[in-house]
Amino acid sequence: MTRMPISLRLHRLLDPTGRASRSAGWVNRVLAVCIVASSIIAIVDTEQAISDLAPGFFLWSERIFGAIFLAEYVARMIAVGEDPRYRGLAGRLRYAVTPMALIDLVAVLPLFLGEIAGNTQIVRLLRLFRLLRFSRLGPFSRAATILLMTLRARLPELLLSLLVALVVLIFSATLMFLIEGDVQPAAFGSIPRAMWWAIATLTTVGYGDVYPVTALGRILAGMTALAAIGLIAAPTGILATAFAEALRRYHHERMEPVAPDAGQEGAVARPQP
C-alpha cells in the first residue's frame, strides 16, 4: 500500500457511504452518535431543573462536542479538495456555501457563541439536520429510497386527501360556529376558534378542552368524528398501495427478487426458479 496524501485519506475516512475504507464506517458511526448525543444533551439542557443540577457537565460536554464538530469541519474542508468539483481554494469556498456545508458550520457556531450568548440549545438542535449526511449509511439507505419513492409516486392523491380534509375542516368548523357560536363564544365564537376544535376532532386527538354542549352540536361532532376515520383511512390506504408498488419497482430495477431481505436471517427467501 502506497503513501496517500492526507486529503485523500480524510476523503476516504469521511465517505458518507462508509464503503471507501474499513475505518470510514467507524468514523461515520462515531459522528452520528456524537450528533445524537449532542442533540439529546441540548434538549435536556433546556430543562432548568436538570441543567442547574450539573451546569459543568452541560458546559463541558458542549465544548467537547463543539471541538469534535470543528475538527470534522476542518477535515471535510481539506478532504473536499479530492472532489473534482471543489478543487483548490476557490473550489473549497464554493463548497463552503453549499447547504450541507453551511449546516456543518452552524453546528460549530455554538462553540463560540456559547461564551457570548448563553442559551444555544436551539442552534445546537439544528445539528439534527446533519444526520441527513449519514442517511446513505447502512440499512436505512435502501429503506429511505423506498419510502421516498412511495411518497413521490402517489403525491397528488395524498395532497388531494389533505385538501379534502381541509375542506371538511372548514365546513365542520363553520357549522359548529353557527350552532354553538352563541352558547360558547370563547370556544366557537368565530370560525378560526371553531377550527381548533375541528382539527382536534378530525385528527382524533381530542384534547377535550373544547367540545360542544348542545344536542345539535354533539350530532355534528359525532359526524365529524366519523368523517375523521375516513380522512385517516384514505392516506393509509394510499400509502399501503404506494409502498407495495415502490417495493416492487425498487427490486425490479435492480433485477433482484422481490424479497431479498428474506435471506437476511437465513432461511426465509428461497431463490426463485
- Binders of a second copy among residues 48 to 87 (CB under 8 A) are 48, 50
CB of 173 to a second copy, least distance (A): 8
Going by C-alpha positions, the residue among 179, 181, 167 that lies closest to residue 222 is: 179
**Of 5, 37, 207, 216, which one interacts with a second copy (CB under 8 A)?**
207
CB of 108 to a second copy, least distance (A): 20
Interaction residues for a second copy, span 216-245 (CB under 8 A): 218, 221-222, 225-226, 228-245
Provide long-range contacts, Cβ within 8 A and 24+ apart, for 13-17: 13/75, 13/79, 14/72, 14/75, 14/76, 14/79, 16/133, 16/134, 16/136, 16/137, 17/136, 17/137, 17/141
Q: What is the DSSP string of 138-157?
A: TTHHHHHHHHHHHHHHTHHH
- What the block records as the C-alpha cell of 42 is 441540548
Interaction residues for a second copy, span 99-158 (CB under 8 A): 121-122, 125, 128, 131, 139-140, 142-144, 146-150, 152-154, 156-157
- Residue 201 makes contact with a second copy by CB under 8 A: yes
The residue count for binding a second copy (CB under 8 A) is 97
By C-beta, is 80 or 210 nearer to a second copy?
210
- What x/- string results for residues 21 through 50 when contact with a second copy is judged by CB under 8 A? ------------------x---xx-xxx-x
- What the block records as the C-alpha cell of 208 is 377535550
